[in-house]
Amino acid sequence: MFSAHLINDPFGDPGVYIEFKYRRSALLFDLGDLHSLNPRKLLKISHIFVSHTHMDHFIGFDYLLRVCLGRDRHIFLYGPPGFHEQVENKLRAYTWNLVENYQNDFALHITEVHPDCKRVRLYRCRTAFQPEEEDPAEIFNGTLVEGSYFSVRGVFLDHKIPCLAYRFEEKNRVNVMKNVLQEMGIPVGAWLVDLKDRILGGEPDDTPIRIWRRHEGKEGEERFMSLGELKSSVVKITPGQAITYVTDAVYSDDNVKKIVELARASEILFIEATFLHEDADKASQKYHLTAFQAGKLARMAGVKRISLFHFSPKYKGSGEILVEEAMRAFKD
């Protein structure tokens, strides 16, 4: 279970924050101005997917670094060709002479994505963010993350430069039927997260699950039930949802095909709608989509909902006309 929302208003810098409920964890698409996210929210982020490094998509890097410094955090960042050098240039802009004494382990795992391969470099705060030896390149077949409860895919779009669009997919949803728990006299509590992880991880039915709850700050009584027993009585498993994030792309046959394929049947498509369709020439010169094109792509992909962003400042004060245009094309 997760929630997903734009971090700024549609005229502000692009960015989508996906937060997992019941886990202290979140993902971020794009790294523009992040000041709308408070440090508590920023510190939940484990993975960040940068579409490209135009300033409005990458200026938040410094703020993120500032908030995470001195914390035990490992953050995984993904970006297009040239990403390592750009991250390194940002890191080199500061003096790091005192960090070797830090107690904690803050590290950045940076994946530079190329059309055919992924290259990962590690940068640790304690070694002044000097790049560590790079792992051998891995083949890139579209998948960037394949986790136990979510996966993320990426595809290169044409924005006059390579620009990554992303699809986040939740693995199956494990819904706990609290009324059944209550009837069975089983307490709700943190053990349910462990149960869900084990179900999603495909563990065998005879795995013992420890059921416990905290009572007055202490761990109270515990009992054990098998995973199979719990799976058949207290949970309902439904397919997970997908979220797609598309920004900064020209409306071309190739981009259309890739976007429709990536966004297929998403719960929400977050998509740029930079210009009105009457300014389609300008949109194509600047390698952006119009609101009409965004709505049409959403319809072609059969998504459930759209969320529009990256509005050009020329429409400031009348963002609703961009929304109306996109919605007309979406629902048509």
Q: Please report whether residue 13 would count as binding Zn ion according to CB under 5 A.
A: no
CB of 16 to Zn ion, least distance (A): 14
325 touching Zn ion, by CB under 5 A: no
Answer for the pair 241, 304: CB distance below 8 angstroms, yes or no. Answer: no
Could you tell me how many residues of this chain bind Zn ion (CB under 5 A)?
Answer: 3
SS3 of residue 170 by DSSP: strand
Burial class (CB in 10 A: 0-12, 13-18, 19+), 98: exposed
- Smallest separation, CB 310 to Zn ion (Å): 6
Q: Can you tell me the distance from the alpha carbon of 276 to that of 259, in angstroms, rounded to the nearest whole number?
A: 19
Q: Which is nearer to Zn ion, 36 or 226 (CB)?
A: 36
Cβ partners under 8 Å of residue 43, min gap 6: 67, 68, 71, 73
Position 30 contacts Zn ion (CB under 5 A):
no
Residue 187 tokens read as 């307490």
Residue 5 C-beta: closest distance to Zn ion, Å: 19
Shortest reach from residue 259's CB to Zn ion, in Å: 16
Minimal CB distance residue for Zn ion: 248
Which is closer to Zn ion, CB of 58 or CB of 330? 58
**C-alpha angle with apex 49: 46 to 50, nearest 5 degrees?**
135
Residue 72 contacts residue 104 (beta carbons within 8 Å): yes
In whole angstroms, what is the distance from residue 269 CA to residue 309 CA?
A: 11
Q: What residues are paired with 173 via a beta bridge?
A: 238
Report the residue from 19, 248, 279, 325 that binds Zn ion according to the rule CB under 5 A. 248
- Whichever of 198 and 274 has its CB closer to Zn ion, that residue is 274
Note whether 99 and 128 are within 8 A (CB): yes
Closest distance to Zn ion from the beta carbon of 56 (Å): 5
Instruction: Return the number of the residue (78 or 149) whose C-beta is nearest Zn ion.
Output: 78
Rule CB under 5 A: which of 52-81 touch Zn ion?
54, 56
User: Which one of 143-151, 169-177, 209-217, 243-251 is the stretch in contact with Zn ion (CB under 5 A)?
Assistant: 243-251
CA dist 135 and 142 (Å) reads 19
CB of 57 to Zn ion, least distance (A): 6
Under the rule (CB under 5 A), what is the footprint of Zn ion? 54, 56, 248
